[in-house]
A and B are shown apart, each in its own frame.
Chain A
């Protein structure tokens, strides 16, 4: 029982880390209907930029500010160069464009900052700690606190600010939003910038654990099933889906995967997301769509 609980808790924490990446997706999807495959490379780009600036002897907070500024510039560029010309094209076209974008950003990040692995220290040690008789990593607790505050912050941003209102308007009906004077381009650029900032947070937490390196961009593949289970359009739903995916993935790996020598972590979340899709085609928390001809 003790072991089961520890696996479960470990999975839940892993799920929090997945959700951190997935939240960036949901933001962009809600605002522009784009399934942004490049979110993983944005995580890499943000983390790599931050680490490289810090390594040049610049203060932590200043480096954070500079990185945020860089992500803002990147977001504006993406809106200008990629999104604006693709307005009104199919979701599939937009997805493929972000696939191309992910190649560009990965190449750019590594051309600018090199390909070596950077260590990252956030001042929270990855040491076990006893909480209610279960040993959990202090870093995991820290990451969860960060994720929780991030979700709260985003909830406030969406529900209690003018920008949030504009964003929800765009999400509900871009044309109607446009007609009442919402600046679609600004909303898009802003939301990509916010997604970049979320990517930076995710990149710092993942980078502190795995080292800042190319493989960071691959966590996009961990976030995808979370998104699909969550249903693409609800931030809190994504968090719940993250917990679900993380927990079931780790439990399956330990209790089922061991029968075949392990390694089922790679595909199990996708299997889970398929089962969810077959039962509820728009995810657990997604909005069902009505098709008209």
Chain B
């Protein structure tokens, strides 16, 4: 059997370049300060905040699936752990800074994630589905059955406290955006350094050929658990942001299997094994339903009902997944890098790609 694979060939999506564009990093603070002055509440609450949080979640899953080659369909479970842990840390330790409880939420998710990653030491490929699906159903069950986690709220819903950091209130839609942007940016920078460091190299070695990696002395067990832990930490923080900055209130069923699939779709469409892929994929997944909705209400308001629209959306998403896996396994990230090359005047014309 051939070992040529989508994941192996996706490595060049993130080329090592010494001359990196730095201007986006200067643009970010400007964006963070200026945008809340001009943007509408709808833009922040319904578009930008969910976008940033899903991008962060996609980033986390990409570290595990795209970079280390371990398939997971339990992302939402780790998001749930992060959200509920952050909530309980806030609730039970008075005066704990918000960002610290986010981090602790991430650490809790990392612990749970490494636990469910343990079977990856013995099995691989889709056998690992069993483990991540077990995480998905087990976490949902624990959070629903044991009311301690939801502070005995009869409906099993947790409500985020006010978002105070150093006395500054981030509870407005613009503030939530700033919070999500700050956390996502910091963790993205960290992830970028991580995947370019020796740690990231060992992850990719495991992904590309585990047996060969073991032969050259990479310790598979440690590397995989490390990837599970880091990935789950990201997902946990994303979950905490989802509950605190995006929704405000959340119940365990908000993190169901469909959310896991959504995160997986983000990285398939955006690009497996690419950091920018998570951001592109998340933009796609947040914007497409909104665009479809607008289109439907504008043109077919009396013909199409909500159910039809939902089904059409399902068909479209499913087809896109298949299309990307067949034609562009490196996702939108590759399109963007091709575009960039085309516009860079000094570089030679890239080879034709179909």
Contacts and interface: CB of A to CB of B under 8 A. Distances in A.
A86 B5 CA distance: 10
Interface string A160-193: 0000000000000000000000000000000000
A110 B311 CA distance: 7
B4 A88 contact: yes
A100 interface: yes
Nearest to B129: A224
B125 A277 contact: no
A261 interface: yes
Q: How large is the interface on B (under 10, 10 to 19, 20 to 34, 35 or more residues)?
A: 35 or more
A130 interface: no
B133 A270 contact: yes
Contacts of A95: 71, 126, 129
Interface in A241-261: 260-261
Interface stretch (B105-113, B273-281, B321-329, B332-340): B321-329
Contacts of A228: 127, 129-130
A115 B307 contact: yes
B122 A267 contact: no
Contact of B319 (A93, A96, A99, A104): A104
Given A99-B321, A104-B322, A263 B130 contact: no
Contact of A103 (B125, B321, B329): B321
A106 interface: yes
B259 to A, nearest CB: 14
A107 B70 CA distance: 28
B264 interface: yes
B314 A107 contact: yes
A23 B313 CA distance: 30
A274 interface: yes
Given A99-B264, A225-B130, A293 B211 contact: yes
B269 to A, nearest CB: 10
B315 A93 contact: no
Contacts of A221: 133, 257
A277 B4 contact: no
A285 to B, nearest CB: 14
Contacts of B71: 92, 95-96
B326 A85 contact: yes
A35 B326 CA distance: 17
A111 interface: yes
A107 B2 CA distance: 34
Interface stretch (B92-100, B137-145, B223-231, B235-243): B137-145
B126 A92 contact: yes
B209 interface: yes
A103 B314 contact: yes
Q: Which of B127, B314, B317 has the largest number of chain A CB atoms within 10 A?
A: B127
A292 B325 CA distance: 26
A193 to B, nearest CB: 19
A224 B126 CA distance: 10
B134 A267 contact: yes
Given A101-B318, A260-B145, A263-B141, A93 B325 contact: yes
B141 A86 contact: no
A85 B354 CA distance: 14
Interface string B1-20: 11011110000000000000
B119 interface: yes
Contacts of B264: 96, 99
A277 B130 CA distance: 9
Contacts of A91: 125-126
A291 B211 contact: yes
Contacts of B312: 107, 111
Contact of B130 (A89, A96, A266, A270): A270
Contacts of A8: none
Interface in A184-229: 221, 224-225, 228
Contacts of A274: 119, 130-131, 134
B2 A278 contact: no
20 contacts: A35-B129, A85-B326, A89-B325, A91-B126, A92-B71, A93-B7, A96-B71, A97-B325, A100-B318, A100-B322, A103-B317, A103-B321, A111-B311, A111-B315, A221-B133, A271-B134, A277-B122, A278-B119, A291-B211, A292-B211
Interface of A: 35, 81-82, 85-86, 88-93, 95-97, 99-108, 110-111, 115, 221, 224-225, 228, 260-261, 263-264, 266-267, 270-271, 273-274, 277-278, 281, 291-293
The 8 A-B pairs of least Cβ separation, nearest first, read: A100-B321, A103-B318, A107-B314, A270-B134, A104-B318, A107-B315, A267-B137, A90-B5
Given A221-B133, A270-B131, A270-B134, 16 more contacts: A86-B325, A89-B5, A91-B126, A93-B325, A96-B268, A97-B322, A101-B318, A103-B317, A108-B311, A228-B127, A261-B145, A263-B144, A263-B145, A267-B138, A274-B134, A293-B209
